[in-house]
């Protein structure tokens, strides 16, 4: 045996895995007005992950009532969700 056989091969350090952007980061991006359909998909995904309605509303920066409307989908709680969301988006973008 030679010394080369006993010396371990030097490898480069593995690259760090790319992290997915969190929903909060996606919501915080100044990319402009979000699409309600995309936000609804995010709400449902986060709910399946076990987050509560207030936590989802906070994380996605949308009003609690909109998240609750998506979760409950009750005729007793029907609001003009799209109009409320659009108004919220205008206010959110104006604040930035």
The per-residue pLDDT string of the chain (96 residues; one tens digit each, 9 = 90 and over) reads 566 566 555 555 555 554 444 444 444 455 688 998 999 999 999 999 999 999 999 999 999 988 988 888 766 666 777 888 888 888 888 876
Alpha-carbon dihedral sign for residues 43, 64, 59, 21: positive
| Stretch (H or E) spanning 44 | helix 36-48
- 17 domain residue, yes or no: no
Enter the pTM of the model.
Answer: 0.56
- 5 domain residue, yes or no: no
> Which residues lie closer than 8 Å to 49 by C-beta, 6 or more apart?
none
**Domain containing 70: what range?**
34-96
CA 86 centroid distance within chain: 18
67 within 8 A of 57, measured Cβ to Cβ: yes
pLDDT value of residue 49: 95
pLDDT value of residue 82: 81
Distances (CA, A) of 45 to 61, 64, 85, 89: 15, 16, 18, 21
Provide the number of structural domains found in the chain: 1
- 41 domain residue, yes or no: yes
């Amino acid at each position: 045996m030679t010394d080369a056989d006993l010396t371990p091969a030097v490898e480069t350090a593995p690259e760090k895995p790319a992290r997915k952007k969190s929903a909060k980061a996606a919501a915080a991006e100044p990319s402009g007005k979000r699409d309600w359909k995309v936000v609804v998909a995010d709400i449902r995904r986060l709910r399946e992950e076990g987050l509560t309605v207030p936590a989802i509303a906070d994380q996605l920066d949308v009003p609690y009532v909109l998240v609750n409307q998506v979760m409950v989908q009750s005729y007793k709680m029907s609001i003009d969700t799209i109009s409320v969301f659009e108004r919220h988006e205008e206010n959110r973008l104006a604040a930035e």
